[in-house]
Each structure stands twice: as structure tokens, then as C-alpha cells.
Structure 1
Amino acid sequence: MTTSNDIGAGGNQMDKIAVLIPCYNEEKTIGKVIRDAKAALPEATIYVYNNNSKDRTAEIAAEAGAVVRNEYMQGKGNVIRRMFREIDALVYVMVDGDDTYPMESAREMVDMVLNRNADMVVGDRLSSTYYQENKRPFHNFGNNLVRGSINKLFGCNIRDIMTGFRAFSYEFVKTFPVLSKGFEIETEMTIHAVYNNMQIENVVIDYRDRPEGSVSKLNTYSDGFKVLRTIMRLYRSYKPFWFFLMIAIVLALVSIGFFIPILQEYWTTHMVPRFPTLIVCCFIMLSAVQAFFAGVILSTMAIGDRRQFEMQLNMLQRHKENDYNG
């Protein structure tokens, strides 16, 4: 049954494959993306989520045969939150509406979820044509910086963090807490999958730059800063012991650095003429000790959260089987 918020055909039952396309002012490319998705995955239901577009994006998507819905809170993260809440499917394919990702790889990505138990399949642009096609050098630098930071901090080997072409399992979608509002959402997805030991696969895909007349909504500097801030926020949440240990080490080194001259002077003169500095050193060292124990406590809580997550996965597995078979 089509809801009143839909334009086009579609149902509320669980789909086998759902193609999710978040869109904001993509009238020049959305029709082709939908046609390509139908050709690659003819059995899929295609959903276009219109995010306050001021052009004919929604109208063109409906004419092309997609189910069109609206998300009125601006930002890609808000759109994906709405998609993941409303759509039930065995496998989800998420692709941008700007026609930069050829859909020919979609079938391979879907098969990895359905037949190889993958929870997230990453469309890897950086191993193919991205650096040749992309005309924005700071984007290239930013992609490498984000990829290197996450792989180092979380001990993983994800080849493309910022790609907008991915496939997901039902379990991933229904356990992913969307906290980001904008383009940092891809970073959040990746870290969620890595931290929770979900199966991640990489598929090398071609990338093509936007066609003439299609404008990117990504701001290199402001969105890049948001992505880096998201990495640190999630590192603090998922790896609290190491995060607060680093803070404790820095504070301890500062305290020791200022304390050593005072100690040397005391050994020489048996006097402590700089009492204010000594007091500050003591408070800084106390802060270091507090940071260390905060990391220990929060790490114990994070382990408890992981146990709850595993139990939630088991419940979702039974729920998915009952819904799809029933």
C-alpha cells in the first residue's frame, strides 16, 4: 500500500532489495540513475528521498518509476535516518543521485550481502578512477586523511571511507544509530561497522565526475572539519580507554615537565620558591589520574554496550526471518 507521502508505486512489506537514493536538486541526473538501477537490479524497489529540492527532482523520479518520499530536515544524515526507519528489506543498496557511480557493480554488492553474509559492502572508488576523474585536489587529500585516520585509530583496512555507494544487510540498517546530520554520515557508518565487528567487504567500482551542470553540495572545508570531528567523537565513544589514556599521558607529561625544574632547585637549595607552580603541577597530575580512571570506567561500560548489541542482533535475525517469510 502506498502512503500519502509517496509518489509512485511501492509497498510497506519487506522488500528483497531496496535501492535508496537520497536527493537534493539532482534533476539533471536522477532519471538516469533510476534507469541504471532498474537495469542492474530489475527486481529491486527504488526509493528516492527528496530533501527539499527546489527543482524537478521529485517529479522526474516519479516519472522514472521510483517511489518518492520526502525528508524535510535538511542534510544527508537526516535523509538516511528516515530511509533506514521506514524501509524494510533483506538488502539495501545506497547510491547518490548525481550519477557518479555506475550501477553495474550493484549486483556483485547485493550478492555479497545475500550469499556471503556481508553486513556492509563498500564501493571502493579510490582504487580505480577516482583520482583521475575528480577535479578537486583537496577532496583527494581529505579522502586520504580520513581513510588513514580511521584505519590507524580503529585498526581496520577500509579502502574508501567517504563513498556514497554501499550495500547493507538488514541487521546493519536496523542497528545503526544515525547521529550525524550531514555528509559525515559515511564516516559514522564505517566506524559503526568496524567497532561492532560486522563483516565489511570492498568492491572496486569505477567513478566518474559529475556531468556538466550538476553541482556538488559538499563543502570541502566545513564538511571536512565535520568529518574529522565525527572521527574523534566516535573514537571517544567507542575506544574510551585509549582516548582518555592519551589525555592522561599529555597531562602527566605537562605536570612532570614543570615539576622537574622545581625538584632540581629543591635538591640544590633545599627550598621551594615557586609554590604556585608546584600547586598547579599537582592539580594537573590529579587531572591526569582522573582522565585515566574515566577511561577505565567508560571502557567497562562500552563492553556492556557491545554485549547488548550482540543480543539485539540475535533478536533482529529472528524478526527478519519472520517478516520476510510471513
Structure 2
Amino acid sequence: MSTQQGVTASASEYTFDDLAVVMGTYNEAEAIGAVLSDIDDVTDGRAEVVCVDGSSDRTPEIARDHGATVIEQEPQGYGVAVREAILAPDRSVVVTTDCDDTYPMERLPDFLAEINDGADVVSGDRLYYGAEEMPGINKLGNELFALLASVLMNKRVHDTTTGMRAYRREVVQKIRWTENTGLSAELLMRPLMRGYDVRERPIEYDERKGETKLDPFSGGLEIAGSIVRVALEERFR
């Protein structure tokens, strides 16, 4: 899934020194240490890590102990935290991830290689390998979100709500992000509908550590609403 209208790749290749890994965190003390250790191991400690945190547990303390930059804010929802996180770093490539240890940080080199190959956005497709660790109702919902977005955009996508993506920094800076619960879908749909080079790549998905904060029914309705709203806004932009 790509076009020829995206941002031109720079002459020199990006390295881990150009990479920031960002996430919104909320009471993830059980998992955050493992995630940050994985990032550090994979990037040899060279990637910048930014956590936007609204926790009441030890999450921010653990993140700081691992060398992450922590921006504290009152809990306002997923999108508010992640939007702050993706706009905070000044490195050329920004990767989003969740802090529940479900995403494979060992794929960071592959995502960076795709950016160096000319991609503007690289999106991790959790459903490609079956996502067996994902609760059945969540898996069904994610499949339906992808189908809805595909129909509205007239472009096939496979996982609209994945939390692991790589972006060129200029892409996330150029677009005005508006969604909260549905920000993951928006972060895929707006660049794709504007002709950027957006690529989905299969990734493994593991069982989360800690409890989920999103109600599958009310949250699902919000995400579906975001998909419809973003598609219509982009179509008539």
C-alpha cells in the first residue's frame, strides 16, 4: 500500500540516533520496565524514549529509572497522551508503541529500514499472523474497523488500530490530529488519504501484561465513529 507522492527520502540513511520511541502510559508498572529494556537492548540505548504519563502507580518512576523522558499530564484519554508523545521528540523518525509489552520491539530495525527505503509511515499489522493472544471480541472489532476504513477510503487496510507504527517526523507535524480514542485509526487514515507512502507490515502480537483500560463496547463505538469522521473529513478536505 504505497504511492509516489510521499516525502522524499533523505540522502543519508537514518540510524537509531535519529529514532524516538513514544507511548502514552497509564498505570503500566507491571509491563513498562520490560518494554523499555527491550527498546534499549534493540537500539543499543541510542533511541530517545518519551512517555506521556497520567499514572497513579510507579509507572513514571520506572520509566525515568530506564532513562526515558516522562511528560506528566492529567489522564485525558489515549489520543491526548499519544498526540503529545509523537509531537514531543525532535528526532527524524518517531515510532509509537503501547506500554503493555504486546508489541515486538525487535522489529524496530525493520521499521527503520522501511523508512530508509522511502516509506513515510510503516504500520504494524497484528492480524496477519492471527493475533491468537488477542481476546476474540477485540480481534473481531479490529477486523471490522479495518473493513469499515477500507470501504470508506476505497483503499485496503488490514489493521487500523495497531499501536506500533513508524512515522517520518515531518508527516506527523504537517497533519492536525483531532481524535482521542480513535487516534490510532486517524494516524493511519489521514496520511494514506493524503497520498503519503504508507506500508503495512506483519508483526507478532503477544499477550498483554496488566489490565486493559478500554471498554470494548463503548470504546469500539468511539473508534468506529472516528473512522467515519476522519474518512469524511479527508474526502471533502
Partner of 1:127: 128
What SS does structure 1 have at the residue aligned with 2:231?
helix
Q: How many residues align?
A: 220
- Are 1:129 and 1:208, in contact at CA under 8 Å, matched by a contact in 2? no
What SS does structure 2 have at the residue aligned with 1:28?
coil
What SS does structure 1 have at the residue aligned with 2:86?
helix
How far apart are residue 169 of structure 1 and its match?
Answer: 0.5
Cα displacement string for residues 239-281 of structure 1 (whole angstroms, at most 9, x for unaligned residues):
24xxxxxxxxxxxxxxxxxxxxxxxxxxxxxxxxxxxxxxxxx
Partner of 2:230: 234
What SS does structure 2 have at the residue aligned with 1:21?
strand
CA distance in 2: counterparts of 1:124 and 1:148, whole angstroms = 14
Which deviates further from its counterpart, 20-29 or 71-80? 71-80
- Are 1:162 and 1:187, in contact at CA under 8 Å, matched by a contact in 2? yes
How far apart are residue 59 of structure 1 and its match?
Answer: 0.5
- Are 1:125 and 1:205, in contact at CA under 8 Å, matched by a contact in 2? yes
1:48 aligns with 2:45: no
CA distance in 1: counterparts of 2:103 and 2:86, whole angstroms = 21
Larger Rg: 1
- Are 1:93 and 1:110, in contact at CA under 8 Å, matched by a contact in 2? no
Which deviates further from its counterpart, 65-74 or 157-166? 65-74
Cα displacement string for residues 73-93 of structure 1 (whole angstroms, at most 9, x for unaligned residues):
511111122123322111011
- Are 1:71 and 1:78, in contact at CA under 8 Å, matched by a contact in 2? no
What SS does structure 1 have at the residue aligned with 2:18?
strand
Q: Which residue among 209, 216, 219 is the counterpart of 2:215?
A: 219
More relative contact order, 1 or 2 (CA 8 Å, 6+ apart): 2
- Superposed CA RMSD in Å reads 1.4
- How much identity, in percent, do the aligned residues show? 30
Runs of 4+ in 1 over 3 A off after TM superposition: none
Cα displacement string for residues 53-111 of structure 1 (whole angstroms, at most 9, x for unaligned residues):
01100001111121111132511111122123322111011110000012111110012
**Letter of the aligned partner of 1:107 in structure 2?**
P
What SS does structure 2 have at the residue aligned with 1:138?
helix
Flag structure 2 segments of 5+ consecutive residues without an equivalent.
1-16
CA distance in 2: counterparts of 1:128 and 1:89, whole angstroms = 31
Cα displacement string for residues 12-41 of structure 1 (whole angstroms, at most 9, x for unaligned residues):
xxx611010210000000001000001112
TM-score, with structure 2 as normaliser: 0.88
Partner of 2:171: 172
**Letter of the aligned partner of 1:122 in structure 2?**
S
CA distance in 2: counterparts of 1:133 and 1:17, whole angstroms = 28
CA distance in 2: counterparts of 1:21 and 1:84, whole angstroms = 8
Q: Which residue among 188, 198, 201 is the counterpart of 2:199?
A: 201
Partner of 2:114: 112
What aligned pairs does 1:235-314 form with structure 2 within 5 A after superposition? Answer: 235-240=231-236, 302=237
How far apart are residue 180 of structure 1 and its match?
Answer: 1.2
Flag structure 1 segments of 5+ consecutive residues without an equivalent.
1-14, 241-301, 303-326
Partner of 2:66: 64
CA distance in 2: counterparts of 1:73 and 1:57, whole angstroms = 13
What SS does structure 2 have at the residue aligned with 1:203?
strand
1:86 aligns with 2:88: yes
